[in-house]
Amino acid sequence: MIEKMKKLYLLIYHQSKDEFLERLQKIGVVHLDTGDNIQSDAIQDIKNRLSKLDKCKKIVLSNKTKNSKVVQKSRDGGDIEQYLSEIENIENRLGAEKSRLDNIRKEIELLTKWGDFDPDTIRAIEERSGYKLKLFYARDKDYDDIVSGISNDVFVEKIIEEKSKVFFAVFYKNPASLESVRASEEKIPLKSLKRLKKEAARIEESIGVLEKSKSSYAELMDEFDKYRVDLEDSLQYNVVDSSLSPEVEGKALFIRGWVPKRVLKFVEEFLEKEDVAYIVDDPAEGDEIPIKLRNNAFNRLFEPITKMHSMPNYGEMDPTPFFAPFFAAFFGLCLGDAGYGLVLFITVIVAILFGKNKKIRPILYLGFFLSLSTIIAGAVLDSFFGFKITEMTLLPKALKKTAIFTDMNTQMSFAIMLGVIQILFGYFLQTISKIKFGGIKAGLQPLGVFLLITGTVILGVGYGLKGDFSIGPMPVKKIITSIPHGFNVGATLIIAGVALILLFNNIDKKIFVRPFLGLWEMYGIVTGIPGDVLSYIRLFALGLAGGLLGGAFNMIAFMVRDSAPIGINYIGMIAILLAGHIINISLSALSAFVHPLRLILLEFYKAYGFVGGGKAYDPFRKGAA
């Protein structure tokens, strides 16, 4: 259901604006038409604070040091902004220390090869003897040639050989004679390895201290979250404040809003007491009316699916209650295994009873219904952990009677039948919706499609198929042929449907143009709907694939039990069963969620004539975030 809205014009006296907005935000039911891209210094400031807060929260949460003792500081009454700056400061220092540590480590890596020497000694040598030091490396097979080619006033000392390279030191007086050294120079910092290592250890320690003090802010997380809510509230407030348009030389401020009809009385009572003038009006055509979905507890669980596509617009019905039972049933059919349903069911129940996260409650309740549907579907489709229920010797006969769609062809026909039903249902709803919002004439084309499909099914199944066609316990053909004058009824429906489609498509166009446009519509319908119906095959195929894969794991597990040596045979069997079914259940559950989603959002929405594009009702309130 889409909640009915009333339009509200507000004229606020400028002197009491702040108090009024404050109280309006507190009652939190009026959706205000604020501009899309409101900018002001105050808004920018709040946005900056928000991003700083989020950054700092990330910094504190990213801390991986475990068992760090919480550093006690007197934190009560402190200013959150102050703490945020402290966190940023710590993070900056950490960054600086880490990059210093990186540099030192690089130097250590370069130096390690050359051994631990004292740079002071080298400097002393250079000063006293006048000889200077440079370091070189070359390929080891070239080394002897290099040494013999070096001029006499240069001394060479081999330091180390490594990976077919020779590293050597060269002492020289005259830079010109260096040219005789035909090798590559290695430029390294002349620093003491020992000192560098000490320095690295010192920085590591200081990083540890900083990380610890960073993690001490984690205890403030609740306050940060509260602060975030405050910031969001004041952001909303400022957006509204900047959207007010001054009237009567700035003495009054105007804004338009929306109120759900259900709470209009309450809002009017509130406004009576305030220093404002207001008018309540009905929405007019062309208004962008905010959409608030209002469904019962079961259907509400499926609203996220509706919102995933787009909010319906005000001029159509909320599709949620219409697809909710289909979605639950389709999920069950796609997973299609009573055992897997049972596993999901137990998991969901445990999570509901012992889970602490309140936010995922709706998902768990949805899971409850989906798992129930899976258990039922598995019983009907004859599958329990990949075994056929009808072939299980332990089960009492009464339980096996639930398996009514056991063979593949029946299951496939059943899936296609569900497709026909849902698509017909979609066109039926489209007819109702078009008539409701656009008059009877608007509803005649979808009605035509509805009749055309019905007629085609009657003729096709009742008189086209040979033999006795039934889906499980449903003697479909018999039911259809039992319609008196069934053939004529079917043919009449088809003719009437085609006529309606040809005459009442594009009702804004002239009637003699429509049959030609209608041909194009007919082409779309004739090529589109069979494809849409066949798309429902996936309901059966996914269940089949999941069941067969589960069966395959069972087979492999029993092969291991029968052929592996005693001792590991049962362990192996259990391991394969556990791992196999866990993989199968998670992948199948994902598919079982996604494919029905597609059937709803594509095939059903097409038949339903879903347009969407509505803007969500987002009242001016506190704690919206």
Partner 1 sequence: MGEMNSAFIVAAIGLGLMIGLSGSGSAIGLVISGSSAMGSLKKRPEAFGALLVASILPSTQGIYGFVGYFIYSDLVTPDISMFNASLVLGAGLMLGIVALVSAIYQGKICASSASAIGSGHEVLGQGLVFGALPEFYAILALVASILLKNLAQ
Q: Which stretch binds partner 1 (CB under 8 A): 43-51, 148-156, 483-491, 544-552?
A: 544-552
Q: Which of residues 359-388 bind partner 1 (CB under 8 A)?
A: none
Taken in order 417, 423, 426, 430, the sign of the CA dihedral is negative
The one among 271, 291, 333, 544 contacting partner 1 by CB under 8 A: 544
CA–CA separation, 621 and 625 (whole Å)? 10
By the rule CB under 8 A, 422 interacts with partner 1:
no
Judged by beta carbon, residue 160 or residue 582, the one nearer partner 1 is 582
Give the max Cα distance, the chain: 122
Q: How many CB atoms lie within 10 A of CB 461?
A: 20
Q: What is the 3-state secondary structure (H, E, C) of 386-436?
A: CECHHHCCCCCHHHHCCCCCCCHHHHHHHHHHHHHHHHHHHHHHHHHHHHH
Strands of the sheet containing 184-185, edge to edge, are: 155-162, 165-172, 132-139, 184-185
Q: Is 538 in the site for partner 1 (CB under 8 A)?
A: yes
**Cα-based distances in Å from 52 to 96, 195, 625:** 19, 39, 17
For residue 255, the one-letter residue type is I
- Closer residue to partner 1, CB minimum distance, 365 or 593: 593
- Given 43, 169, 190, 545, the residue binding partner 1 (CB under 8 A): 545
Binding residues for partner 1, how many (CB under 8 A)?
A: 28
Q: For residue 201, count other CB atoms closer than 10 A to its CB.
A: 12
Q: By CB under 8 A, tell whether 548 contacts partner 1.
A: yes
Of 183 and 305, nearer to partner 1 (C-beta) is: 305
Among positions 542, 576, 577, 585, the unique one binding partner 1 when judged by CB under 8 A: 542
Q: Draw the binding track, 572-611, toward partner 1 (x: CB under 8 A; -: no contact).
A: ---------------x--xx-xxx-xx--xx---------
Q: Which is nearer to partner 1, 346 or 552 (CB)?
A: 552
Handedness of CA 376, 379, 380, 386 (dihedral sign): positive
* CB of residue 538 to partner 1, shortest distance in Å: 5
Among 392, 465, 513, 552, binds partner 1 (CB under 8 A): 552
Q: How far is the CB of 189 from partner 1 (least distance, A)?
A: 32
Is position 551 an interface residue for partner 1 (rule: CB under 8 A)?
yes
Q: Does 541 sit near partner 1 (CB under 8 A)?
A: yes
What contacts 200, CB < 8 A, 6 or more positions away?
101, 104, 105, 108
Q: Does 279 help bind partner 1 (rule: CB under 8 A)?
A: no
Task: Give yes or no for a contact between 87 and 218, defined as CB atoms under 8 angstroms apart.
Answer: no
CA distance 172 to 177: 8
Residue 221 found at the interface with partner 1 (CB under 8 A): no
Q: 172 - beta bridge partners? A: 132
The closest alpha carbon to 283, from 263, 260, 265, belongs to: 260
- Which positions from 393 through 412 interact with partner 1, judged by CB under 8 A? 408, 412
Please identify which residue in 135, 305, 447, 577 interacts with partner 1, judged by CB under 8 A: 305
Reference 267, options 26, 545, 463, 519; nearest CA is: 26
Binding residue for partner 1 (CB under 8 A) from 248, 279, 308, 625? 308
Would you count residue 557 as binding partner 1 (CB under 8 A)? Answer: no
CB of 530 to partner 1, least distance (A): 14
Can residue 474 be called a binding residue for partner 1 (CB under 8 A)? no
For residue 461, give the amino acid letter.
Answer: V
Q: For residues 258 and 29, give the distance between their C-alpha atoms in angstroms, rounded to a whole number.
A: 9
Shortest distance, position 597 Cβ to partner 1, whole Å: 6
Distance CA 185, CA 175 (A): 13
Query: Which stretch, 64-72, 115-123, 300-308, 493-501, contacts partner 1 (CB under 8 A)?
Result: 300-308
Determine which residue in the list 11, 537, 564, 624 makes contact with partner 1, applying CB under 8 A. 537
Pairing of strands 290-291, 615-616: parallel
Could you list the residues that contact partner 1 (CB under 8 A)?
304-305, 308, 408, 412, 535, 537-538, 540-542, 544-545, 548-549, 551-552, 555, 587, 590-591, 593-595, 597-598, 601-602
